[in-house]
Amino acid sequence: MRRGRPAGPAGYIPAIWPALMLCVFFVIPFAIMAAISFFHRVEGGFYEPGFEFANYARFFTTFFARILGFSLFVSGLAAVVCVILGFPFTFMLTRLGRRRQVLWLVFLLSVLSLSEVIIGFSWSMLLSRTAGLSNLFVVAGLMDQPASWSPGFAALMMGLCYLAFPYTVLILYPPLSRLDPQLPEAARMLGASPLRTFFTVVVPAQRGAIVATLIMVFVFTLGAYLLPQLLGRPQHWTLSVMITDQAILQSNLPFSAAMAMFLMLVSLALVGLTYAIGGERREP
């Protein structure tokens, strides 16, 4: 069912409040940030109004290229790992009974209630030398002495994947729950093994959902701010961390605004790509 165009101006009245909220909480702050990104930084001070491209010119430096490259790499890797683990998990979840599905979904929603701070400190403790998992391995005889695995790249990836995994499952759950059960059943009747059925029938049928999930998880992890600081080393800091560092510690608000503009435009472009993929899937 599609809603037709309003017959007159009165039909647009219900849209006034959402449009006002969008303008107040998104358009105006975005415009202010865009204006500040062109301002001139005063050495030893703050900044002054102006219109220059010096802040955006720093995007072509090695400093920004390294941070941007690492941010895109770690977010892309986290998205791939989450989809590889989350797709078969979600598929098996949709094969369960309704009661057990609800229990698993409630558990995932409870994980979403944990803040990034709690997740970061929890994983930092689990991977520490004094009270971490390595002590259990020592007791089990798998290690000679406890070791510290945090901070480090592996610890950062574990934290990001733990943070994004529930979102991955919740995004994949609707399309997988609507999958026609006759498709894998027909493949089984033709002699295909369960593993072959999964990779030759289920995965190709959900290609659009997989790509959309990859993009959404990538955008979500791209904005991670606390986990790179709690679980990673300075060389593992992402673009979100550097934006705060430039704005607060370096007092370079124009450059931080320019980086924030870049990050937001990349996120909006990826979200638009996801919407385009979803529109193609809905076409007859």
C-alpha span between 149 and 125 (Å, rounded): 10
The answer to whether position 26 is within a domain reads no
Contact between 187 and 199 (Cβ < 8 Å): no
The answer to whether position 196 is within a domain reads yes
Which residues form the domain of 165? 76-247
Contact between 165 and 221 (Cβ < 8 Å): no
The answer to whether position 122 is within a domain reads yes
Q: What integer pLDDT is reported at residue 1 of this predicted model?
A: 45
The count of structural domains within the chain is 1
The answer to whether position 30 is within a domain reads no
C-alpha span between 261 and 257 (Å, rounded): 6
Q: What is the pLDDT of residues 229-250, one digit of tens each?
A: 889 888 888 888 888 888 887 7
What's the mean per-residue pLDDT of the chain?
A: 83
The answer to whether position 23 is within a domain reads no
Residue 85 pLDDT grade (very low, low, confident, very high; cuts 50, 70, 90): very high
Which distant-in-sequence residues (6+ apart) come within 8 Å of 159 by Cβ?
119, 120, 123, 227, 230, 231
The answer to whether position 278 is within a domain reads no
C-alpha span between 166 and 171 (Å, rounded): 9
- CATH number of the domain at 180, please: 1.10.3720.10
Q: What is the pLDDT of residues 35-52, one digit of tens each?
A: 888 888 877 667 778 788
159: nearest Cα among 98, 118, 99, 213:
118
Q: What integer pLDDT is reported at residue 162 of this predicted model?
A: 92
The answer to whether position 101 is within a domain reads yes
Q: What is the pLDDT of residues 166-184, one digit of tens each?
A: 999 999 999 988 888 788 7
The whole model's pTM is what? 0.81
Q: What is the pLDDT of residues 1-16, one digit of tens each?
A: 455 566 656 666 777 8
Percent share of the chain, pLDDT over 90: 12
